[in-house]
Amino acid sequence: MDTPFPLDLASTAYSYIERPNRVIVSLMREQVLGTNPGARILDVGCGCGANARAFHELSSAVHVTGIEPNARAAELAQSACDAVFQGMLDGWLAQPSPAPFDAVVLSDVLEHVADPIQFLRSLTRAPAVKGATWIISVPNYGVWYNRMRTLFGHFEYAWSGLYDRTHLRFYTRRSIQKMLGYCGLEVVTDRCTPSMVQSTAPLLRKFFKDDVASGNHLALTENRGYQLYEKLVEPVETTVCQIWPELLGFQIVTVARAR
């Protein structure tokens, strides 16, 4: 049988190969856990829980609540989060308000939302997040390899990455900052994730297709080659990409707080 076309959304229950976003994890350590190691974190769109696992590695005292619409991912996230709500944000908001959260994480969520303004406004109005620090990542549409592909007229949907088949909105560093400000969130700082190795993701993914098919969506983090990259190469690559984040960053990661 032919390989499913990426826009065939019914062809797989969950198609992502996940790993912690090291820039999000670093900012969580600096902005939240450094002064509050027992922080309560709301991870909206937590996926399989890769970031939640990394937060617990930073501090055993953290409490992570995940919200995840995909049933398969929510099931896998149970082992990483202290609590998981399987469903959409509006379903979670309809529940009785929980204890206040110290941080809200939106890791590659806003690009999947048809109405991001309403999404952000409804979440920022929730009493439980009034004093929270927000850490928000979005793919950078202005990254160098997308500029090159667009110049030559190439655009093909993919299983994940910048051309993810479920992306409905696209952002640059400037546009995400403007949107957050419009929704009442004041930018504290931002950084970017590296793009050099990420640009080869469609090729690397082929080595893990059997893992995805078998349900091992964290296979990348268990790979020895990736572990060496994460330890030796990624820190250097991340530093280089900060020189020109609008061009070299794969994701823009923004820290914000409500005005």
CATH of the domain at 250: 3.40.50.150
User: Is position 19 within any domain?
Assistant: yes
The per-residue pLDDT for 12 is 76
Angle between helices 173-182 and 116-124 (to 10 degrees): 50
Strand order in the sheet with 103-107: 83-86, 63-68, 40-44, 103-107, 133-139, 249-258, 185-194
DSSP H helical ranges for the chain? 22-28, 50-58, 71-77, 89-93, 116-124, 144-151, 173-182, 201-205, 209-214, 219-222, 224-228, 234-241, 245-248
What does DSSP assign to residue 140?
A: B
For 199, the domain range is 15-258
The per-residue pLDDT for 216 is 60
Q: What's the domain count of the chain? A: 1
Per-residue pLDDT reduced to its tens digit, 195-228: 876 666 666 656 555 555 555 656 566 667 767 7
Low-confidence ranges of the chain (pLDDT < 50): 1
User: Is position 111 within any domain?
Assistant: yes
Distance of CA 201 to the CA centre of its chain: 16
User: Is position 3 within any domain?
Assistant: no
User: Is position 7 within any domain?
Assistant: no
The per-residue pLDDT for 227 is 73
The per-residue pLDDT for 69 is 95
User: Is position 9 within any domain?
Assistant: no
**At residue 204, what is the residue type?**
L
